[in-house]
Structure 1
Amino acid sequence: MSDRDTDYFDRLVDLDALEAFLETHLGPAATFEVHRHPGGHSNETLFITWGAEEFVVRRPPPGETADTAHDVIREYTVLEALQDSDVPIPTTEVASEDHDIIGSDFYVMEKKDGVVIREDEPEEVTDPSQRRWIGTEMIDTLAAIHGVDHEKVGLDGFGRPDGFTQRQVDRWEQQYDWAFETTAEEREIPEVHELTDWLQNNVPTDHPHALVHGDYKLDNVMFELGSEPKTVAVLDWEMSTIGDPFTDLGWLLSYWPDESDETTKVGTAKDAAYLLRNGYPARDELVERYESATGYTFENDRFYRALAYYKLGGIGEMFFRRHLEGNAADDRYPLMEERVPELARRALRIVEGSE
């Protein structure tokens, strides 16, 4: 039985066409079920039962989408390239750009089982040693991603590393400008303009060229916890490219609170106070381990951490515009009226060296 109780589900998948496609590529199966994963705010994830096996289909949301934010073929490309690397990822099966099947590009991969840490510490975490392992494993896995020889695995030309960091600042300035066309009528955020000027004047011009995940944080990594814990898979690669690896580290640190922070709220909605419990490494410990694992020196840390909050604020401001225009039904979106200025003020505290 499949989730066919909503019009939205019917827009995501043509069950008959998908079944025929899977039979061609995976062989026949006595059981075929499809269920939509409700989490996530970018690409859609469909869980597939195919006989005794389980798979995942990834596709963009229906309707018009931003090319880079929902490029599942790009995601498939990097996953396929990393199959024999030290980076833990699902096994890929097949991809298709034939929109006659389910109405969009999509790909199929194995379904991994494990724990994803989102809003709170899972019950499987019982002592400080497990917490420390989670923190250090996050860094060691990030180091493995940044250590991939992207040319050797077939990702030469996958991105444009020269000028990458400058383009990041430019892009997010443009995102703010788009959102402000509507949101400025509700309230101004002078801190964002101050932050924009500082970032534009302090873009590092010299950085390593490496495979970048683009959204590396705790809830995009799946773990197996217990007596012999391991990292099962790094998920959600649609923003990956060849660029500045320090943007990944800055992004991870923006989701990792310290005792000295004025708030333990991270991202655009959730509180991560559980990461202050006994055992989780502090941010400076994460940076030290990263430098040891990669051989890089995390210079310009204020820039990369401030850039992460700038990007988070840009996401929030676009949410707020969609709320004001009546194009969203998410309870978080109206909260961005206050949350985005908070993120900008936090970034300025980082710039000033007070956080």
Structure 2
Amino acid sequence: MSETAIDTARLADWMDAAALPGKGEPLQTRFLSGGTQNVIYELRRGEHSCVLRMPPPGAPPDRDKGILREWRIIEALDGTDVPHTEAVAVCADASVLGRPFYLMGFVDGWSPMELADRRWPEPFHSDPQARVGLSYQLAEGIALLSKVDWKAKGLQDLGRPDGFHERQVDRWTAFFERIKGRELDGLDTATEWLRARRPLDFIPGLMHGDYQFANVMYRHGAPAQLAAIVDWEMGTVGDPKLDLGWMVQSWPENTDTPGESEMSYVDMRDMPSREKVVEHYASVSGRQVDDLDYYLVLAKWKLAIVLEQGFQRAGDDEKLLSYGPIIVELMRSAADLAESSDYR
């Protein structure tokens, strides 16, 4: 995406009025990344640096509420043991830069999305024992997130945990009907199974909504240490075990098998098995995982529907077109697990 211009003079004035560090120093900006929903800049004033995140000019109006919602989450995480970016400041006044925005701490680390040819940075590429820690740290991130006292943090209105699972199936079934351009084999089977077996009771908690290697950052060097969970666009209060299901829904059962490990956008060779990663989540979170099959089916089913929207709007976009067979496999996998699972 092309870089969105920022009025550095207005931004500097706002930062000065907010009594942020570096007052009077020249403000330098560096474009980091951007898409249809957000643009991200590094800001520097003297020795101080932070990151600005805001919707681009063409983003839908509801992204303004979304960006302020993200801010509430990262602000609530301050003082917890959840790896996160520091909450620096927020501006709800669109007259400053054209859209609301917030500032967060700069993370000195690396993202799995920056890997060249799926090659882990050293020492994780050459040391399988060190690499294992990346997976356990990933699981630990959402385990710690699930333990945050969201009521004490003032997030009672962030989501509606009552009826969470009923709404998941109803909402995404209706969504699929709106975008439907083809039949998906296994959709009806998985949908009926989810309706019949939704959890009758669960412990509500803060959840990320799109938890995977793509949305975390690690600190440099070994041992593996999660630096921050990022991209809170889908964050809410609901059932945190859906984050677990989302994270492991495509995790290879056997990471020693080249064919399975190559299905991921990261190199899964020599990673711990799905079972071991889930056990670590359970140990840290204190949550039972006997009903994991439900969350795996829900995650596969939901992800297939989410990706189907992009596929139906793909046009000539090769990346979106490539989702086609992935979606088919996801929905078939959801139905197959539903039919073979002994979860009742």
Tell me the TM-score range normalised by the shorter chain: 0.7 to 0.9
Q: Is the 8 A contact 1:42 1:69 kept in 2?
A: no
Q: What is the TM-score normalised by the length of structure 1? A: 0.84
Change (3 A) 1:247 1:107: same
Q: Is the 8 A contact 1:88 1:231 kept in 2?
A: yes
Match of 2:283 among 281, 286, 292: 292
Partner of 2:121: 123
Q: Is the 8 A contact 1:97 1:106 kept in 2?
A: yes
| Structure 1 residues 1-50: Cα deviation after superposition (integer angstroms, max 9, x where no partner) | xxxx95x513xx33332232223222424332223323667432222222
Task: Report the count of equivalent residues.
Answer: 332
Q: How does 1:48-87 map to 2 (within 5 A)?
A: 48-65=43-60, 67=62, 71-87=66-82
Change (3 A) 1:35 1:315: farther
Partner of 2:236: 241
The question of 1:282 aligning with 2:273 is answered yes
Q: Is the 8 A contact 1:96 1:107 kept in 2?
A: yes
Q: Is the 8 A contact 1:199 1:307 kept in 2?
A: yes
The question of 1:197 aligning with 2:169 is answered no
Change (3 A) 1:175 1:320: same
Q: Is the 8 A contact 2:52 2:103 kept in 1?
A: yes
Question: What is the percentage of aligned positions where both structures have the same residue?
Answer: 31
Structure 2 distance, partners of 1:248, 1:240, is 10
Structure 2 distance, partners of 1:45, 1:145, is 24
Q: Is the 8 A contact 1:264 1:271 kept in 2?
A: no
The Cα of 1:228 is off from its aligned counterpart by 4.5
**Aligned partner of residue 93 in structure 1, secondary structure:** strand
Equivalent AA in structure 2 for residue 195 of structure 1: A
Tell me which stretches of 4 or more aligned residues in structure 1 moved more than 3 Å: 13-16, 39-42, 66-70, 260-266
Q: Tell which deviates more after alignment, 250-259 or 96-105.
A: 250-259
Q: How does 1:251-330 map to 2 (within 5 A)?
A: 251-259=246-254, 263-264=260-261, 271-272=265-266, 274-275=267-268, 277-278=269-270, 280-324=271-315, 330=317
Partner of 2:209: 214
Match of 2:10 among 8, 17, 39: 17
The Cα of 1:203 is off from its aligned counterpart by 1.8
Change (3 A) 1:69 1:304: farther
Structure 2 distance, partners of 1:307, 1:71, is 24
Change (3 A) 1:39 1:303: farther
Structure 2 distance, partners of 1:138, 1:69, is 29
The root-mean-square deviation of aligned C-alpha atoms, in Å, is 2.6
Q: Is the 8 A contact 1:81 1:153 kept in 2?
A: yes
Partner of 1:135: 135
Equivalent AA in structure 1 for residue 148 of structure 2: V
Change (3 A) 1:68 1:60: closer
Partner of 1:37: 32
Uncovered stretches (5+) of structure 2, i.e. residues with no partner: none
Q: Is the 8 A contact 1:45 1:57 kept in 2?
A: yes
Structure 2 distance, partners of 1:45, 1:255, is 29
Match of 2:331 among 332, 344, 349: 344
The Cα of 1:76 is off from its aligned counterpart by 0.8
Structure 2 distance, partners of 1:263, 1:170, is 32
The Cα of 1:219 is off from its aligned counterpart by 2.0
| Structure 1 residues 226-280: Cα deviation after superposition (integer angstroms, max 9, x where no partner) | 24442211111222221101101001112422328985566xxx534x21x22x1
The Cα of 1:137 is off from its aligned counterpart by 1.4
**Aligned partner of residue 162 in structure 2, secondary structure:** coil
Equivalent AA in structure 2 for residue 197 of structure 1: E
Structure 2 distance, partners of 1:170, 1:35, is 42
**Aligned partner of residue 190 in structure 1, secondary structure:** coil
Q: Tell which deviates more after alignment, 142-151 or 21-30.
A: 21-30
Equivalent AA in structure 1 for residue 265 of structure 2: D
Structure 1 distance, partners of 2:64, 2:253, is 30
The Cα of 1:218 is off from its aligned counterpart by 1.4
The Cα of 1:66 is off from its aligned counterpart by 7.5
